[in-house]
Amino acid sequence: MPLAVNKTCPAVLGLRQRRTLRLASYPAAASSVPRASAWFWTPLGLVAFLSFGTRFYRLREPPHVCWDETHFGKMGSYYINRTFFFDVHPPLGKMLIGLAGYLSGYNGTFPFQKPGDKYEEHNYIGMRGFCAFLGSSLIPFSYLTVLELSKSLPAAMLTATILTFDTGCITLSQYILLDPILMFFLMGAVFSMVKYNSCANGPFSAPWWLWLSLTGINLAGAMGVKFVGLFVVLLVGLNTIYDLWELLGDLSLSLVTLGKHFLARVLCLIMLPLALYTAQFAVHFAVLNRSGPGDGFFSSGFQSRLIGNNLHNVSVPEYLAYGSVVTMKNLRMAGGYLHSHWHLYPEGVGARQQQVTAYLHKDLNNLWIIKKYNLNGDYFDPSLPVEFVKHGDIIRLEHKETSRNLHSHQHEAPLTRKHLQVTGYGINGTGDSNDFWRIEILGRKAGKRIKVLRSQIRLIHLATGCLLGSTGKTLPKWGWEQVEVTCTPYQKESPNSLWNVEDHINPRLRNISLDVLKPSFPEILLESHMVMIRGNSGLKPKENEVTSKPWHWPINYQGLRFSGVNETDYRVYLLGNPVIWWLNLATLGLYVIMATFISVVVKRGAHLTAERQELSQVLLHGGGLIMLGWLLHYLPFFMMGRVLYFHHYFPAMLFSSMLTGITWDVFLKFCAGTLSAGTQVYNYGIVLLILLTVYSFYLFHPLSYGMIGPLALDPSSPMAGLRWLETWEF
C-alpha cells in the first residue's frame, strides 16, 4: 500500500518528515475519513455524551462533605472571604474552586470542618460541577490524543471507553478535589503537544503557533495546581529536545531557521508558562490579603502584608540596638517564637534549670532584652549612647519576665539526641560564661546592622559552638506541649537554626512603619515556594488514614474510603475498575514485549509490508511517547519521602489507558494480518474489550455512585461476591 502524506499537517513522532499512519486496508481505520465528516464528529460526540453523563450522574449525592472536600472546599471559601491560608500545593486549583463557588452563588460561609458534615442550605453543587466538568473533559482529550497518534478510530474508542467506565476516574471527578483540575491541564498539555508535533511540516504557521502556545498554557496550569505537574513539563521537555535534535540533523535548514525554532520553543514552552505561573501567585497574594490561619507558616515580613495581622501598619525601630526588647521567630515552618517561663525542666531531663521553648502564639513570655558583652568583662551600660547590634557581635539575651539569661551547656536536649539543652539561667541578669552567643546575619559580613523582620540571623553559643534552633518536636505535658528548643552541634544552614526579629521595642530609637520593610513580590514568591516544599516533605499521614505505596497502585491493591463506614451510611469508595486496571497492567507488559520484538526485527533488517511498517511506527513512536509519560508520572513516587495515597497514581493511569488503546489496536491488526479471517478477528477483539469494560463497570458502579444498606460480605449487598481482594474495604 502506498504511503499517504499530508503535506500540511502530517502525523508526528518520528523524523521531521513523518508519515501519516494511514491504514486504509482496515475498515475501522479513521484516517481514510475526512475530519469534517460525520464519521469524525459523531464518535467524538458520543464520547463526550458518555463522559459527561457518567460524571454528572448523581452529582449531588451524598449531600455532605466527602474526604478531601474538607480541605479544598474550605480553601475555596478562604478565597471568597479573602482570608490567607497555607497549603502545600500551588494556588491555581483552589482559586478555580473558589471562583466556581462564587459564580454559582456559594457565599463562603460553610465551615468544611470534617467529612460527614451536611451541606444543608449551602450551595456546593457549583464547585462539584466545575470539577466534574474538567474530569469529563479528560475523555475527549484522551480520545483525540490517541486518534492523532494512531489514526485509528477503534483505538481511540477503546481508550475513551476505558476512561469513561473506570470507577476510580468517576469518583475523583465528582467531588471538590484538585485531581480533576490537575489531570485536565495535564491531558490538555499532552494533546496540544501531539497536535503541534503533527504540524511539523508547517512550522510557524497559525495552527503550529496555536498548539505550541496551548501546550505552554497547559503546562502552566498543571504546575499551578500541583507540583507533580512538573512530570508533564518533563515529558514535553524531552519531546522538545528530541524534536530540536531531529531539526539539527536536517541539513536543508539554515542556522537562522534553527535559531527561530529554538526561540519559538523558549518563548512558548518556557517564558509563557513561567509568566502565567508567576501571574497565578500575583493573583493569589492580591486576593488573600487578610490575616488567617496560614500566617504562622510564613516569616514576619510576609505577615506584615496582611490586613488584621498584628504586624500590619505597625511602627518599630528599623535596626536592632543594645537594650532593645525583642521577640525572635524561628524560620522553620511552625517553628514558633523563642520563649521561656518560670517552670523548670523536670528531674532526669538535663539540668534542672528554667525551660526554654518555642511557642506558636504571641505572649509576654516571648520578650527578650538584648545586652552586650565586652571582652574586658564589662556589661552593657544603658547610660551610654545608642549602639546598634552588628553581625559578629557577642551578646546576651535576658528573658524579660524572669530576668534569666539564654543559656546552653553540655547536657543533652530533652527530646533530640546529640543536641544540647537550652535553659534560662542566672539571677537578675547575672549568669556565667555559658550565657554568651555570637549573632550572625546569614550571608553578611562583619559590621552589618541587623534589620527587623528582614535579617535572617543565627545565634552561635560561644562556649560550645552549637547553634540555637527549634526542632519542631512537641514537648510532653511538663513542657506545656510547646516546641523543643535545642542547641545543635551541626553547623548547617537550615530554617531550624535561623531566626528573625519580629517585635522591637526601644524608646531611644525612632520608629518607622513596617510598610517600608515589607518584602517585594519576588521575595514572597520565593518564600512561598520554600514553605510549600518544606510542607510537602514534612507531610505525615493523619490518624486512621489509609496510605499506600507506589507498588500497590497499578495492581489496584487498596482503595480509599470517601464516605461512610456502616450499613446506614452513604458509602463511596475510591477504587479503580479492577478489569480495566488489570488489563492496563497486562498491556504494559504486552507493549514491552511487542516493542522489543519489533525493534529487534527492524534492527535485523527484516522486510515488513507497508502496513506493518506503519503499525510499527505507531507502536514505537506513538506508544513510546505514551509509555514515557506513564514512566515519568509513576516512577518518581518511589523516590519521594512524603506520605503517598492511592489517588496519586491517576495521572499515570491516564497514560496507561491510552497505551492500552494503542497497543491492543496494533496487536489485533498484526494478528489480523496473519489470519484468513483477519478483519473479523480485529473487529471482534475490539468489541470484546469494549463490552468487557462496560460489563465490569455495571458490576462495580456502586463504588462510585454510592451504596446504602448491606455491606459487601452480605449476600443481599449489590457488591456481594465482588470483593476479589481482601484489601478492598468497601
> What's the pLDDT tens digit per position in 377-395?
445 566 778 899 999 999 9
Claim to verify: residue 326 and residue 245 sit in the same structural domain: no
Does residue 529 surpass a pLDDT of 80?
yes
Give the CB-side neighbour count of residue 478, counting CA atoms within 13 A: 11
> Is there a contact between 230 and 186 (Cβ–Cβ < 8 Å)?
no
End-to-end, the C-alpha distance of the chain in Å comes to 53
Sorted by sequence, the CB contacts under 8 Å of residue 688 that are 6+ apart come out as none
> Is there a contact between 310 and 505 (Cβ–Cβ < 8 Å)?
no
- The backbone torsions φ and ψ at residue 459, rounded to the nearest 5 degrees and listed phi first, read -115, 120
Distances from the Cα of 547 to the Cα of 306, 524, 550, 559, 710, angstroms = 36, 33, 10, 9, 26
- Tally helices (H) and strands (E) across the chain: 19, 16
Task: Determine the Cα–Cα distance for residues 226 and 127; give it in Å rounded to an integer.
Answer: 18
Claim to verify: residue 533 and residue 567 sit in the same structural domain: no
Does residue 564 surpass a pLDDT of 70?
yes
Task: Determine the Cα–Cα distance for residues 5 and 502; give it in Å rounded to an integer.
Answer: 69
Distances from the Cα of 81 to the Cα of 68, 292, 310, angstroms = 20, 10, 19
Residue 618: which of 583, 663, 655, 685 has the closest Cα? 663
Domain boundary among 537, 563, 590: 537
Which of helix, strand or coil describes residue 441? strand
Does residue 544 surpass a pLDDT of 80?
no
Query: The C-alpha cell of 209 is what?
Result: 503557533
Q: Categorize the per-residue pLDDT at 370 as very low, low, confident or very high, splitting at 50, 70 and 90.
A: very high
Q: Which residue has the cell 505561573?
A: 277
The CATH number of residue 305's host domain is 2.80.10.50
Claim to verify: residue 563 and residue 495 sit in the same structural domain: no
Domain of residue 507, residue span: 301-537
Domain boundary among 470, 502, 537: 537
Distances from the Cα of 368 to the Cα of 4, 343, 400, angstroms = 81, 17, 5
Does residue 446 surpass a pLDDT of 80?
no
Which of helix, strand or coil describes residue 74? helix
Handedness of CA 493, 497, 503, 507 (dihedral sign): negative
Per-residue model confidence (pLDDT) at position 26: 35
> Is there a contact between 142 and 159 (Cβ–Cβ < 8 Å)?
yes
Claim to verify: residue 327 and residue 218 sit in the same structural domain: no
Is 289 within the bounds of a domain?
no
Which of helix, strand or coil describes residue 380? coil
Claim to verify: residue 353 and residue 432 sit in the same structural domain: yes
Per-residue model confidence (pLDDT) at position 470: 92
Per-residue model confidence (pLDDT) at position 691: 96
Handedness of CA 158, 159, 161, 166 (dihedral sign): positive
The chain-wide mean pLDDT, for the chain, equals 88
Sorted by sequence, the CB contacts under 8 Å of residue 619 that are 6+ apart come out as 591, 594, 595, 598, 662, 663, 666
Q: Which residue has the cell 474552586?
A: 97
Per-residue model confidence (pLDDT) at position 382: 65
Query: The C-alpha cell of 657 is what?
Result: 489507558
- The backbone torsions φ and ψ at residue 690, rounded to the nearest 5 degrees and listed phi first, read -65, -45
Q: Which residue has the cell 535576658?
A: 398
Q: What is the identity of the amino acid at 522?
A: P
Dihedral (C-alpha) 147, 153, 155, 156: value to the nearest 10 degrees?
50
Claim to verify: residue 588 and residue 470 sit in the same structural domain: no
Per-residue model confidence (pLDDT) at position 8: 38
Residue 393: which of 322, 467, 303 has the closest Cα? 322
Task: Determine the Cα–Cα distance for residues 213 and 308; give it in Å rounded to an integer.
Answer: 41
Does residue 29 surpass a pLDDT of 60?
no
Is 154 within the bounds of a domain?
yes
Claim to verify: residue 259 and residue 348 sit in the same structural domain: no
Is 119 within the bounds of a domain?
yes
Angle at 694 between CA 693 and CA 700, to 5 degrees: 90
Claim to verify: residue 503 and residue 576 sit in the same structural domain: no
Percent of the chain with pLDDT over 90: 66
Per-residue model confidence (pLDDT) at position 374: 60
pLDDT (average), residues 577-604: 94
Claim to verify: residue 528 and residue 660 sit in the same structural domain: no
Claim to verify: residue 627 and residue 657 sit in the same structural domain: yes
pLDDT (average), residues 608-628: 92
Is 714 within the bounds of a domain?
no
Angle at 177 between CA 174 and CA 178, to 5 degrees: 125
Is 2 within the bounds of a domain?
no
Does residue 162 surpass a pLDDT of 50?
yes
**114-122 long-range CB contacts below 8 Å, 24 or more apart?**
114/65, 114/70, 115/64, 115/65, 115/66, 115/67, 115/69, 115/70, 115/563, 116/64, 116/65, 116/563, 117/64, 117/65, 118/63, 118/64, 119/63, 119/64, 119/65, 120/63
> Is there a contact between 405 and 424 (Cβ–Cβ < 8 Å)?
yes
Give per-residue pLDDT as tens, 676-719. Answer: 667 888 999 999 999 999 999 999 999 999 888 776 667 777 78
Q: Categorize the per-residue pLDDT at 493 as very low, low, confident or very high, splitting at 50, 70 and 90.
A: low
Per-residue model confidence (pLDDT) at position 331: 86
Query: The C-alpha cell of 284 is what?
Result: 493569589
Is 713 within the bounds of a domain?
no
Give per-residue pLDDT as tens, 476-492. Answer: 999 988 999 999 988 77
Task: Determine the Cα–Cα distance for residues 595 and 35; give it in Å rounded to an integer.
Answer: 30
Distances from the Cα of 103 to the Cα of 68, 98, 149, 249, 280, angstroms = 22, 9, 38, 52, 19
Instruction: Tally the domains of the chain.
Output: 2
Q: Categorize the per-residue pLDDT at 545 as very low, low, confident or very high, splitting at 50, 70 and 90.
A: low
Task: Determine the Cα–Cα distance for residues 156 and 139; give it in Å rounded to an integer.
Answer: 10
Task: Determine the Cα–Cα distance for residues 324 and 347; give it in Å rounded to an integer.
Answer: 34
Per-residue model confidence (pLDDT) at position 185: 98
Give per-residue pLDDT as tens, 225-277. Answer: 999 999 999 999 999 999 999 999 989 999 999 999 999 999 999 999 999 99
Is 727 within the bounds of a domain?
no
Instruction: Give 514-567 as a 3 state SS string.
Output: HHHHCCCHHHHHHHHHHHHHHHHHCCCCCCCCCCCCHHHCCCCCCCEEEECCCC
Per-residue model confidence (pLDDT) at position 3: 34
Is 718 within the bounds of a domain?
no
Does residue 420 surpass a pLDDT of 60?
yes
Claim to verify: residue 360 and residue 448 sit in the same structural domain: yes
DSSP run (H or E) holding 245: helix 230-248
Residue 612: which of 21, 6, 154, 146 has the closest Cα? 21
Give per-residue pLDDT as tens, 62-95. Answer: 999 998 999 999 999 999 999 999 999 999 999 9
Q: Which residue has the cell 513516587?
A: 637
Stretch among 99-108, 121-130, 322-331, 710-719 having the lowest mean pLDDT? 710-719
Which of helix, strand or coil describes residue 361? coil
DSSP run (H or E) holding 422: strand 420-425
Task: Determine the Cα–Cα distance for residues 224 and 597; give it in Å rounded to an integer.
Answer: 40
Higher pLDDT, 706 or 580: 580
Claim to verify: residue 188 and residue 140 sit in the same structural domain: yes
